[in-house]
Amino acid sequence: MRPTTLILACAAALIATAAPAQAAVPKIQLVKVYYDSPGVDRRANASLNGEYAVVRNTTRAAIDLEGWTIADQTGYRYTFVPGQVLKAGKSLTLRTGQGTSGTSTVYWGRRAYVWNNDKDSAYVRDANRKIIDKCSYNSSYRDSVSCL
């Protein structure tokens, strides 16, 4: 091999290995956390439900969420019940307060807020407790964070 060809081959190999790897998109992805509900925080159910997290199924198949969890950094944890299936490409909103759960919105049933208004982290874990996605924020100047 000629020296110039060898140098070019080595340089190409170095560039190819130096490129940063793209993180794989999680199959259940946090899309948004609305951590500071509108208005004054007085624990009214409407205010509690103004605080929510949205997840999306990024796959081409339905995912059974039974045993999956969404939690904050403190450890407040919502566990999905049997029969909660998220269809391919669809989103699901978890609201903090009380209500009637369905296919696109579920309710935590809490009477107090979960997400801190200044900084916190949201975690999605599968039924084996493996972290599938995480979204953090550190701002009291906004009401929500896009996790994409």
The DSSP annotation for the chain comes to --HHHHHHHHHHHHHHHHSPPPPPPPSEEEEEEE-S-SS-----HHHHHTSEEEEEE-SSS-EE-TT-EEEESS--EEEPPTT-EE-TT-EEEEESS-----SSEEE---SS--S-SSEEEEEEE-TT--EEEEEEEE-SS-SEEE--
Is residue 102 situated within a structural domain? yes
Average pLDDT, the chain: 89
Is residue 110 situated within a structural domain? yes
For the segment 35-46, what is each residue's pLDDT rounded down to a tens digit?
999 998 999 999
| Residue 91 belongs to domain with CATH number | 2.60.40.1260
Residue with the larger pLDDT of the pair 10 and 81 = 81
For the segment 78-118, what is each residue's pLDDT rounded down to a tens digit?
999 999 999 999 999 999 999 999 999 999 999 999 999 99
How much is the pTM? 0.84
Is residue 9 situated within a structural domain? no
Is residue 4 situated within a structural domain? no
Question: What domain range includes position 32?
Answer: 27-146
Q: How many domains does the chain have?
A: 1
Mean pLDDT of 73-78: 97
Is residue 17 situated within a structural domain? no
